[in-house]
Amino acid sequence: MNPVKIRPAGPGDATALAVLIAGFRDHLAAKAPIDLEIQRHLPLALAEAGIEFCCAWLEGEAVGYTQTRFWASVWASGAEAHLDDLFVVEKARSRGIGRSLLRHALLRAEARGALRFCLNTNERNEAAQSLYRSEGLAPQSHALYPGGREVLWVKALAPNGARGTPMSQTLGYVTILVRDYDEAIAFFTHALGFERIEDTPLQAGKRWVVVAPQGSRGTALLLARASTPEQEALVGRQTGGRVSFFLHTDDLRSDYERMKARGVRFRGEPRSEAYGSVVVFEDLYGNPWDLVEPPQSFSSIRISR
């Protein structure tokens, strides 16, 4: 039998993932979310930088998944990961896939810099509790209430539109046109030191390739291979020669020296501006980027060029 393979889920896995989520809902004997709601909201969740889905594949079939949320936590003194879902289809149980999914989620949390990993489970789910204990997790109890169980309290709220408040949105990806997936991946991961977040095969030889700076929880870069003459003509000049992207750093001089040693082309030397230290560099296709070290007093930078 082929071993189980676990990897982060991308847009190309949405159909298989939706089936798994619906299966988990039915396993819990829950009435919501209905299939239509899963299909509607799953793409938004997949694009959310603070949510990560991972699927377990066995002989080409998706047989389990996890959903983990990440956020900055005062109590953890840093990033925290919360495992919302862990599910394995009935026919694939008793093969250690649930344990493998849990271990994978723990490793992914560590890789993303989380300092604490937590989850909720029902106190009557003895099998799950045994699994969690065996992997080093333990129930939390505060000194004020020694031995007391933590209880999950829930209240359903009205949708944003119903209470008249704006929706919470984030910018998930920004697309950059590339001529070749692999040469672009090599540049961003080696020359710039980015991390390859996802590389999922799609139809017609296309791939969903996402890269981002190491440890970043902000907007990620989608590498899209040009597939038409019009797109090919825009590779390297998709913003007409203006600075296309702004890469923030807390140590410009070190990044400048490291990137220069790896063959990155810079347009001049670092200089000081009102918004911080900055130097312009080019990616492998000639798109201009700003490498910026903002002053500590600047929480965000708005630049007009």
Query: Over the stretch 280-297, which tens digit does the pLDDT of each residue have?
Result: 999 999 999 999 998 864
Q: What is the structure's pLDDT at 161?
A: 54
Q: What band does 302 get if pLDDT is binned at 50, 70 and 90?
A: very low
Q: Please write down the long-range contacts of 252-260, taking CB distance under 8 Å and 24 or more positions apart.
A: 252/277, 252/278, 252/279, 252/291, 252/292, 252/293, 253/277, 255/291, 256/291, 258/193, 259/191, 259/192, 259/193, 259/291
CATH class of 240-305: alpha beta
Q: What is the structure's pLDDT at 122?
A: 87
Q: What is the CATH number of domain 170-235?
A: 3.10.180.10
Q: Is the pLDDT of residue 170 over 90?
A: no
End-to-end CA, the chain = 58
Residues of the chain with CATH 3.40.630.30: 5-137
Q: What band does 183 get if pLDDT is binned at 50, 70 and 90?
A: very high
| Helices and strands in the chain, H and E counts | 8, 14
CA distance 85 to 258: 40
CA distance 264 to 279: 12
The tokens of 284 are what? 């492998």
Map residue 167 onto helix, strand or coil: coil
The CATH label, of 3.20.20.70, 3.30.70.1150, 3.40.640.10, 3.40.630.30, for the domain at 5-137 is: 3.40.630.30
Share of the chain above pLDDT 90, in %: 63
Question: What sign does the dihedral 58-48-78-84 (CA atoms) show?
Answer: negative
Residues of the chain with CATH 3.10.180.10: 170-235, 240-305
Average per-residue pLDDT for the chain = 89
The mean pLDDT of 205-231, rounded to a whole number, is: 91
Q: Helix crossing, 14-27 with 35-47: angle to 10°?
A: 120
